[in-house]
Amino acid sequence: MAIDTPYRAIFTDLLTDQTLDILPLRDVSFDDYIGKAGSLSGTIPIPNKDIADRVKKVREGRTAVYLERGGDLWWGGIIWTTTLQSSGRGVLTLGIQAATFDSYAARRRIRTEITFATATDQLEIARRLWKELNRQEDPSVPRAEGQEPRSLGITFGEEKSEVFRTASWRKGDETVYLEALDQLAAMENGFEHQILVYRDPDSGKRIRQLRLGWPKIVNGATDLLFDRPGAILSYSFPYDATRGGTTALARGASTNSNAGTESRPLYSTEQFASDLLADGWPLIDLSSDHNEVTDPTTLSALAKRELDEARGAVVVPAISVHLGGLVPPALIGRVARIRITDEWHPQGLDARYRIIGVKVTPPERGRPDTAELYLEEA
């Protein structure tokens, strides 16, 4: 990072969260989303041996990195990849690639029996999955008396929904935790999940918290206001009919145990967007595979949710804004009121959108501090 950057890169041990060092980070970009892991990339300059010895503490798979701005944590995650590189002139750097703490669920597999035979709040099921992967102990090694259990340090709330489900995952199926979470969340009347990082206002301690939202994650009591002309530097409204559809079908596991006959998967009832078809849309098919689902009702719920979220043409509006003192760090889930007046909107657009993704480009070498906000209708 340039010397005058408002961001500070804090490197910590992944499991203990003990600070290892605060190091300069250049050519940085970072993003965060609802529904998928965010990413960070940057380069640590290594001008001398003293800095090299400090940078050697940064270990892929074992180190976390936070970006702090004005005392607030704007991003936090796990460094998964490092690249030591020397240029033709002998300039030494360490490139890092990191992903938000949500990405850890993609690196763990369910290796214990998890069963909810009676109907349980779907958010409690999601918490149970995260609590299982939060544990960092070898079950074959007994814990010493008085020894605290090791964990990833994820904290949990008590969110509830009005949806109750049964679910089970078996040891030996090697189901990826993130796939189990996403499948549960993707069902009709499902939920959203995200790992939020922030500082405890009393202790100043860094917090990694599982945030669950039903049916959506919504953050903040008041709308953020962005105008063009004004704070909005640019905007885009990409409408994409290749990503949408008017029908959907979900395929599940095969129930054929006879090796001598053709194996065929279970499938849901076909779902139709009847209102779009009546309005003149053609049949455009969506399809998804869920290889571990053996219940046709669950498959139909998955197909219904997929169609609800990709009806007709998919649009993910985006606006680019200057980051200033009026823009808070916890943007994901906030509702933004967007007001635009131009040739396309001569009467003025005035609409409310929920922020579902943020991509930040910190200032460097004269480049301003900007953020691209990805939106959906609120």
Query: Is 53 or 148 the better-scoring residue by pLDDT?
Result: 53
* pLDDT tens per residue across span 261-275: 677 889 999 999 999
Chain mean pLDDT for the chain:
92
**183 in a domain, yes or no?**
yes
Residue 1 lies in a domain: no
Quickly state the pLDDT bin for 132 (edges 50, 70, 90).
very high
Number of H-type helices and E-type strands within the chain: 5, 24
Do 80 and 163 fall into the same domain? no
131 & 175 share domain: yes
In this structure, the answer to whether residues 203 and 340 fall within a common structural domain is: no
Give the residues across from 108 on adjacent strands: none
In-domain check, residue 49 = yes
Single-letter amino acid code for the residue at 157: G
Which comes out higher in pLDDT, residue 288 or 142?
Answer: 288
Residue 219 domain-assigned? Answer: no
358 and 231 both lie in a single domain: yes
User: Tell me, what's the pLDDT at 236?
Assistant: 97
Tell whether 87 and 115 lie within a shared domain.
no
Residue 45 resides in a domain: yes
In a domain, 251, yes or no: yes
Q: Which amino acid is at 375?
A: L
pLDDT reading at 154 higher than 90: yes
Q: What does DSSP assign to residue 282?
A: P
pLDDT of residue 274: 97
Do residues 58 and 120 both lie within one domain?
A: no
Examine the domain organization and report whether 229 and 323 are in the same domain.
yes
Instruction: Report percent pLDDT > 90 for the chain.
Output: 79
Q: Are residues 116 and 165 in the same domain?
A: yes
Reported as a pLDDT band with limits 50, 70 and 90, residue 3 is very low
The Cβ of residue 333 has, within 10 Å, a number of other Cβ atoms equal to 19
Asked whether residue 282 is domain-assigned, the answer is yes
Are residues 56 and 132 both part of a single domain? Answer: no
Q: Which two tokens stand for residue 231?
A: 């704070």
Of the given ranges (144-153, 170-179, 305-314), which has the lowest mean pLDDT?
144-153
> Ranked by mean pLDDT, which of 2-6, 166-170, 338-342 comes out on top?
338-342
Tell whether the model's pLDDT for residue 1 goes beyond 80.
no
Please name the amino acid found at residue 37.
A
CATH (domain of 336): 2.30.130
Under the banding of pLDDT at 50, 70 and 90, the label for residue 343 is very high
Confidence of residue 260 (pLDDT cuts 50, 70, 90): low
Do both 176 and 115 map to the same domain?
Answer: yes
Would you state the pLDDT for residue 325? 58
Confidence check: pLDDT of 362 > 60:
yes
Residue 225 has pLDDT above 60, yes or no: yes
- Axis-axis angle for helices 177-185, 122-134 (nearest 10): 170
Q: How many Cβ atoms sit within 10 Å of the Cβ of residue 61?
A: 11
The model's pLDDT over 93-104, given as tens digits with 9 standing for 90+, comes to 999 999 999 999
Q: What is the domain extent for residue 351?
A: 224-238+316-377
CA angle 146, 147, 150 (to 5 degrees): 150
pLDDT of residue 150: 85
Q: Is residue 69 part of a domain?
A: yes
- What sign does the CA torsion over 163, 218, 64, 83 have? positive
**Total domains in the fold of the chain:** 4
User: What is the model's pTM?
Assistant: 0.88
Asked which of 84-88, 148-152, 212-216, 245-249 is least confident by mean pLDDT, the reply is 148-152
Is it the case that residue 182 has pLDDT exceeding 80? Answer: yes
Average pLDDT on 348-365 reads 91
| Mean predicted confidence (pLDDT) in 171-183 | 94
- List, in sequence order, every residue forming a beta bridge with 213; answer none if it has no partner: 192
